[in-house]
A and B are shown apart, each in its own frame.
Chain A
């Protein structure tokens, strides 16, 4: 058939095909170069003591253990607050809401939140939590700001998975005489747990990658924080991995350390993406 094509059409076909392959190759090449370069500069600096100690000027060693702990702190605190709120909102939207208009308003609000850039969250989080609520620049203030940021992610993924629970499950449960809340707790939630897990993983990914919010609602100290008492726990304030990367690269000009942190962030991103796609696959089944 191709012999009968006019030269122009054959050129169009060839040109278009070349463009498609070229663009895809460019995208992949870009990613591979990025990964290769970061690992090349970063891996030599990673050692056991780099991961498990704090930086010490006296001994002249660098370590990012405090940043790892701070990152875990914001992940746990944000999720503890955001998860019940997000799942609750999704339950309301799919199970209870009868007023179309209200559902539309809530969904519009969720979409709006998802579109707000993190520097705006940083600005508002700083005013609300650090200044108005007098939390100062602490990990708590940062975590609470992150809650607002990850809420849409959790609401949306939970909502999607609640929608996939077959209507007959609900009818069966209600038909056997259970109340609505009992039905949600024992039938609906257990069958949509994969979706909720996916939402959490995506939220963790966003928190790990976030920097602007944490830079302006938490201090940028790279020293080890004291979490020993509740009071200290509430007051602790220090850089997470992304913020530490920024501090080492932009303020201390210690690029080797920055690249090592970048390598670790890259590895975390790969892990989180893998986990999300595994959970997603389970969800589809």
Chain B
């Protein structure tokens, strides 16, 4: 029996290896054909003309993620402090399931609402010819990362020993001074983990932003139609023929995205390890 269970355990390892190897094997040929610098730093992606530069997608993913973090983290962080410290237990018991629900809503549903409500709103408010833009994607992503930021930060804040806060209160600090100057610094690695997790979710999201970002591979600017690394794969995958250079270039984008994700995973592990040591 032991061997059987060992095999089950090793399957997770096998899957990770399988994914890594498949991505490398399928991702390398196009990079070799296009040239690494041309592929990574080329600014035009035009599959029809044989131009495969993904700099625009890389920058869009980076800016989009950064934008989502800038909007989502403060709101998520303050909500977490509210839930962990200020909210009466009954109120917190109502809000927590709501946050979980926000986390469970399928990404296409966010995309649909973004497409029908947010995109026209951006078009009218900023007087543009089309509302599909980096801004729309950033707002949708910010909403989608909220729940993970809230729940991970809240858990970290809950774990701060009561004595720390009692000590601060006894010395005459107000409750909120205590929360922000004692509890938050004590929970800082947990909160950092929440932010890294949010980055990971934002950079990997595809289906919600494919519906609001316009999907033209422009260099990113806030009101232009943009293509992320994820949507760059998604938008052409069902059309690119197996074996063609275009198809192989999609695998190469996948490889680049995978490297980004692995980097974030390593970062997350470092942060979590530091938290354990604290």
Contacts and interface: CB of A to CB of B under 8 A. Distances in A.
Interface stretch (A50-58, A168-176, A207-215, A227-235): A207-215
Contact of B9 (A19, A106, A111): A106
Interface string A15-56: 011011111101110110010011001000000000000000
Nearest to A244: B108
Given A115-B264, A117-B230, A20 B78 contact: yes
Contact of A5 (B11, B86, B174, B250): B174
B234 A212 contact: yes
A27 B100 contact: no
B15 interface: yes
Contacts of B60: none
Given A26-B75, A128-B18, A34 B207 contact: no
B231 to A, nearest CB: 8
Contacts of B87: 24
B116 A106 contact: no
A106 B13 contact: yes
B190 to A, nearest CB: 16
Size bracket, chain A contacts: 35 or more
Interface string A175-207: 000001100000000000000000000000100
Mostly, the A contact residues are: helix
A102 B264 CA distance: 23
Contacts of B207: 211-212, 215, 242, 246
B11 A266 contact: no
Contacts, number: 245
Contacts of B211: 246, 249-250
B74 interface: yes
Nearest to A15: B176
Given A24-B87, A262-B109, A89 B104 contact: no
A67 interface: no
Interface in B174-225: 174-177, 179-180, 200, 203-207, 210-211
B206 A119 contact: yes
Nearest to A126: B237
A124 B5 contact: no
B172 to A, nearest CB: 8
Contacts of B16: 109, 112-113
A211 B108 contact: yes
Interface string B136-147: 000000010010
Given A16-B176, A89-B9, A116-B19, A23 B78 contact: yes
Contact of A27 (B10, B150, B242): B150
A53 to B, nearest CB: 22
B30 to A, nearest CB: 13
Interface string B87-112: 10000000101111110111111011
Given A19-B78, A38-B109, A211-B107, A24 B11 contact: no
Given A5-B174, A119-B234, A123-B250, 9 more contacts: A16-B176, A113-B16, A115-B268, A117-B230, A119-B233, A123-B23, A215-B234, A216-B234, A250-B115
Interface of A: 1-2, 5, 9, 12-13, 16-17, 19-24, 26-28, 30-31, 34, 37-38, 41, 84-89, 91-93, 95-97, 102, 105-106, 108-113, 115-124, 126-128, 131, 148, 151-152, 155, 180-181, 205, 208-212, 215-216, 242-243, 245-246, 249-250, 255, 258-259, 262, 265-266, 269-270, 272-273, 277
